[in-house]
Amino acid sequence: MQIPIKISNDGSEEWMMLELQGDLESRTQTKMSNKFIGDLHFTKQGVPVLIIGHHILHGKVMDMDKPFVIMNKIQTDTCMEVPESDTDEELDVLYNIKAVVKKKLIFKNRPKPIIASSVNNV
Amino acid sequence: MSCIERTVEDVQKLIHHAKLTEDELLPVTQTLEFSPEYGEASQEMVMMEVDPTLLSTMKQGDSIVLRGDPEAGVVLCTNNKTYEVREAETSNSLVLVPQLALPSKDSTGERTLENCQVCSIHYKYLELRPCKPRVEKLQQVLEEHPYSGPQEDDLTDTSKGKKYAWNDLLNRVQCSEEELDQALRDLEAYHIYGFWQILEFDYRFKVVSHILQLIETKSWALDCVPYKESVEILSELEPRAVMVQCFEYYLAPTDNENESGDALYTLQDDKICRLCAEVLLKSADKYNLNEFLSIWQQSVPEGLTTNMSQLEGLALVDRSGSADAISYFPVSSLPSGIQERFNCLFETREKWSIEEIRPYIMDLTGEKTPVNALLTKYARASTSNGIKYYSGRHAR
């Protein structure tokens, strides 16, 4: 069986990736959509600084030796022409490359807690 | 268009809490949040690691196809290369943020907020590794329905298996189109009425014999066989498509033409001799080597010379008895898995010299695994009378 990979017109779009140790979890088991995660700053030296909740992380910008392509699976409509001589139905699925990731912000160190000098709701 | 009501003051307050100063930070703060569609099935995305060369191939718009097989997993194919696809896991979170930007280091001004949405988080990605084309299956597939001549076009005959067109083959065989094309040539496959088929052995010999007889009848020199004239005459005997392809498999073009402008071809000695040997070897279990060599030489057209190197991977010589014997042992009949192949070889014969075993494992070699590397891994070497022999690792 064969699944073609297509690159869409905006496939040359470049996305960015954050690489974090561990996992991003919500303290309440609610849906993540629309939830705020944190603030990302860059120092004047170009070091990314990420503040998530009560944690601060210092990272660095890395060029990836091997880029990532980001694909989504597309179920094409049946109105597409059926290729002759072929009986496998799987052909109406394809992977579409939406974007390429060439750089990432990597946060290798464990997050440091922020000890609030004045206790406030953060 | 943030869904979160976050103000510059909130951000500044947090900077202060974190014991950072605004002076050391660039003025743009990117506030991260999950997109409204985060976690929805429609947003499901796959990440695949690709090397820069492959990426540029993709961007040129060359065809890229995943070819899956229920047992062998998935490969990715470009026009001419095959890569094994594996899933890799990481304990880190890979967070995709499409809009995230690297700010310019000399930007100044008031603090501003840019909203960035996380569209997905990944713990797995696909890894690609260049691999050999997995063409073993091609032989198996083509053997389902070998072509045995024009009489079989009778469609009511359902005793034979499926026939495969180009795209059917690509559905079954895990390799790129260029590699498939090469593999079809290596197997001597024919494109007949839209399907790729190998010729049934007796029929193949019959077709080649037509060519040899024509050369003899016309008293042409073996290296001066006119292409057009031959194909014209031969097409009266067998389908033109078969004759043309057979001609090209067993003869090679020369740079010469005859007086009527017809391209001249030369017989490929080794292939003809090998085919004649195969006819003989298939018809008996075993031959006395000397007898075989003499019948074989008589069976080939005058002007061709047989020699043992033409039989590599086709026949085995047994020198253990009082008289040397030869028997049919084609590499094409052996398993394609490396371990299975070695098991089978060492079952057939306990000890092999390097010259003997090489033709039977050549097709298993890869860039990083030449014959020697395979032998080191799958066989045990021993020396007897100054000759190095290879036997099974677990042989007694």
Cβ contacts of B176 on chain A, cutoff 8 Å = none
Beta strand spans in chain B (E): 28-34, 46-49, 64-69, 73-77, 82-97, 112-118, 120-130, 189-192, 195-198, 225-226, 251-257, 263-267, 287-288, 315-318, 325-328, 352-353, 379-384, 387-392
| pLDDT digits 0-9 by tens, B71-126 | 889 999 999 999 999 999 999 999 999 999 998 887 788 888 999 999 999 999 99
| Residue B86 maps to a domain | yes
Nearest 5°: phi and psi at A88? -75, 130
| Per-residue pLDDT, B61 | 81
User: Is the Cβ pair B95, A88 closer than 8 Å?
Assistant: no
Last residue of one domain, picked from the residues B130, B158, B186: B130
| pLDDT digits 0-9 by tens, B23-70 | 889 999 999 999 888 888 777 899 999 999 999 888 888 889 999 988
| Residue B277 maps to a domain | no
Asked if B229 and B267 touch (Cβ cutoff 8 Å), the reply is no
B109/B148 same-domain check: no
| pLDDT digits 0-9 by tens, A104-120 | 999 987 778 887 554 44
| Per-residue pLDDT, B321 | 85
B157/B220 same-domain check: no
| Residue A65 maps to a domain | yes
* Of residues B158 and B217, more confidently modeled: B217
From the list B13, B45, B92, the residue facing A70 with the nearest CB is B45
Name the nearest CA neighbour of B353 among B392, B391, B321, B307: B391
B120/B192 same-domain check: no
Last residue of one domain, picked from the residues B130, B150, B178: B130
Q: Is B386 an 8 Å CB contact of chain A? A: no
Burial of B363 (0-12, 13-18, 19+ CB in 10 A): middle
How far away is chain B from the Cα of A57, in angstroms, using its nearest Cα? 10
User: Is the Cβ pair A120, B101 closer than 8 Å?
Assistant: no
Q: How confident is the model at residue A61 (pLDDT cuts 50, 70, 90)?
A: very high
Helix, coil or strand: residue B141: helix
Of A73-82, A93-102, B200-209, the range with the highest mean pLDDT is B200-209
Nearest 5°: phi and psi at A61? -90, 130
| Per-residue pLDDT, B159 | 65
* Of residues B216 and B106, more confidently modeled: B216
| Per-residue pLDDT, B339 | 94
| Per-residue pLDDT, A80 | 47
Which residues span the domain enclosing A72? 5-22+46-112
| Per-residue pLDDT, A92 | 77
User: Is the Cβ pair B20, A49 closer than 8 Å?
Assistant: yes
The chain-wide mean pLDDT, for chain B, equals 91
Q: Is B85 an 8 Å CB contact of chain A? A: no
CA torsion B276→B282→B283→B288, rounded to 10°? 80
Q: Is B168 an 8 Å CB contact of chain A? A: yes
Burial of B85 (0-12, 13-18, 19+ CB in 10 A): middle
B166/B87 same-domain check: no
B157/B180 same-domain check: yes
| Per-residue pLDDT, B21 | 85
d(CA B395, CA B372): 19
How far away is chain A from the Cα of B114, in angstroms, using its nearest Cα? 10
Asked if B380 and B390 touch (Cβ cutoff 8 Å), the reply is yes
User: Is the Cβ pair B39, A32 closer than 8 Å?
Assistant: yes
Altogether, the residues listed in chain A come to a count of 122
| Residue B383 maps to a domain | yes
User: Is the Cβ pair A32, B34 closer than 8 Å?
Assistant: yes
| Per-residue pLDDT, A26 | 63
| Residue A117 maps to a domain | no
Cβ contacts of A58 on chain B, cutoff 8 Å = none
Domain count for chain B: 5
Q: Which DSSP category does B71 fall into?
A: T
| Per-residue pLDDT, B104 | 84
| pLDDT of A10 over the 70 cut | no
| Per-residue pLDDT, A88 | 47
Q: Is B1 an 8 Å CB contact of chain A? A: no
| Residue B278 maps to a domain | no
| Per-residue pLDDT, B105 | 80
| Per-residue pLDDT, A85 | 43
Residue B76, beta-bridge partner list: B66, B83
d(CA B68, CA B76): 9
Cβ-based neighbours of A91, under 8 Å, separated by 6 or more? A1, A2, A3, A83
From the list A20, A61, A85, the residue facing B95 with the nearest CB is A20
Last residue of one domain, picked from the residues B100, B130, B160: B130
Altogether, the residues listed in chain B come to a count of 396
Find the mean pLDDT for residues B147-155: 77
User: Is the Cβ pair A21, B37 closer than 8 Å?
Assistant: no
Find the mean pLDDT for residues A39-49: 92
| pLDDT of B155 over the 50 cut | yes
How far away is chain B from the Cα of A66, in angstroms, using its nearest Cα? 5
Cβ contacts of A45 on chain B, cutoff 8 Å = 105
Q: Which of A17, A90, A118 to mutate to test the interface with B (most CBs of B within 10 A)?
A: A17
Chain-centre distance of CA B135, in angstroms? Answer: 4
Asked if B94 and A19 touch (Cβ cutoff 8 Å), the reply is yes
Instruction: Please give the single-letter amino acid code of residue B164.
Output: Y
Domain count for chain A: 1
| Residue B124 maps to a domain | yes
Asked if B130 and B83 touch (Cβ cutoff 8 Å), the reply is yes
Q: Which helix (H) or strand (E) holds A32?
A: none
| pLDDT of A28 over the 80 cut | no
| pLDDT digits 0-9 by tens, B309-346 | 999 999 999 988 889 999 999 999 999 889 999 999 99
| Per-residue pLDDT, A116 | 58
Q: Which residue of B has its CA nearest to A72?
A: B45
| Residue A90 maps to a domain | yes
d(CA B120, CA B35): 8
Scanning the structure block, which residue is given the tokens 């062998």? B72
| pLDDT digits 0-9 by tens, B280-294 | 999 999 999 999 999
Distance (Å) of CA A58 to CA A29, A43, B39: 27, 10, 27
| Per-residue pLDDT, B175 | 96
| Per-residue pLDDT, A84 | 46
| Per-residue pLDDT, A29 | 60
| Per-residue pLDDT, A3 | 92
d(CA A72, CA A98): 7
| Residue A16 maps to a domain | yes
d(CA B306, CA B319): 20
| pLDDT of A82 over the 50 cut | no
* Of residues A10 and B268, more confidently modeled: B268
| pLDDT of A71 over the 80 cut | yes
d(CA A64, CA A102): 5
Asked if B99 and B117 touch (Cβ cutoff 8 Å), the reply is yes
B62/B159 same-domain check: no
B326/B369 same-domain check: no
From the list B17, B52, B67, the residue facing A114 with the nearest CB is B17
B79/B142 same-domain check: no
B15/B67 same-domain check: yes
B74/B175 same-domain check: no
Give me the long-range contacts of B140-143 (CB less than 8 A, separation at least 24). Answer: B141/B169, B141/B172, B141/B173, B142/B187, B142/B189, B142/B196, B142/B197, B142/B198, B143/B198
| Per-residue pLDDT, B219 | 94
Q: Residues of B numbered 248-267 whose beta carbons fall under 8 angstroms of chain A's beta carbons: which are they?
A: none
| pLDDT of B271 over the 90 cut | yes
B341/B396 same-domain check: yes
Nearest 5°: phi and psi at B346? -75, -20
B122/B140 same-domain check: no
| pLDDT of A90 over the 50 cut | no
User: Is the Cβ pair B116, A40 closer than 8 Å?
Assistant: yes
Which residues span the domain enclosing B302? 283-333
